[in-house]
Amino acid sequence: MESSETALLIIDMINDFNFEHGNILAEKALKIADQIQLLKKQCEKENIPIIYINDHYNLWQAELNKVIEYCKNEKSESVIGKIKPTDKDYFLIKPRHSAFYGTALHTLLTQLQVKKLILSGIAGNICVLFTANDAYMREYPLLIPDNCIASVDDEDNHYAIRMMKNVMRAKIFTFKENTSISPLSSS
Residue 89 falls inside a structural domain: yes
Domain residue limits at 76? 6-186
Query: What integer pLDDT is reported at residue 178 of this predicted model?
Result: 81
Q: Domain containing 82 — which CATH number?
A: 3.40.50.850
Q: Work out the average pLDDT over 12-24.
A: 94
Query: What integer pLDDT is reported at residue 175 of this predicted model?
Result: 95
Question: Predicted confidence band at 180 (pLDDT cuts at 50, 70, 90)?
Answer: confident
Residue 84 falls inside a structural domain: yes
7/45 Cα distance (integer angstroms): 13
Residue 26 falls inside a structural domain: yes
Examine the pLDDT at 186 and tell me if it is beyond 80.
no
Residue 1 falls inside a structural domain: no
How many residues does this entry show for the chain? 187
**For residue 160, is the peptide bond before it cis, meaning its omega torsion is within 30 degrees of 0?**
no
Q: Work out the average pLDDT over 109-116.
A: 95
Specify the number of domains making up the chain.
Answer: 1
Q: DSSP alpha helices (H): ranges in 10-148?
A: 22-45, 64-71, 77-83, 105-111, 129-137
Q: What's the mean pLDDT when you consider all of the chain?
A: 93
CB–CB of 7/112 below 8 Å? yes
Examine the pLDDT at 114 and tell me if it is beyond 70.
yes
Crossing angle for the helix pair 129-137 and 154-166, to the nearest 10 degrees: 10
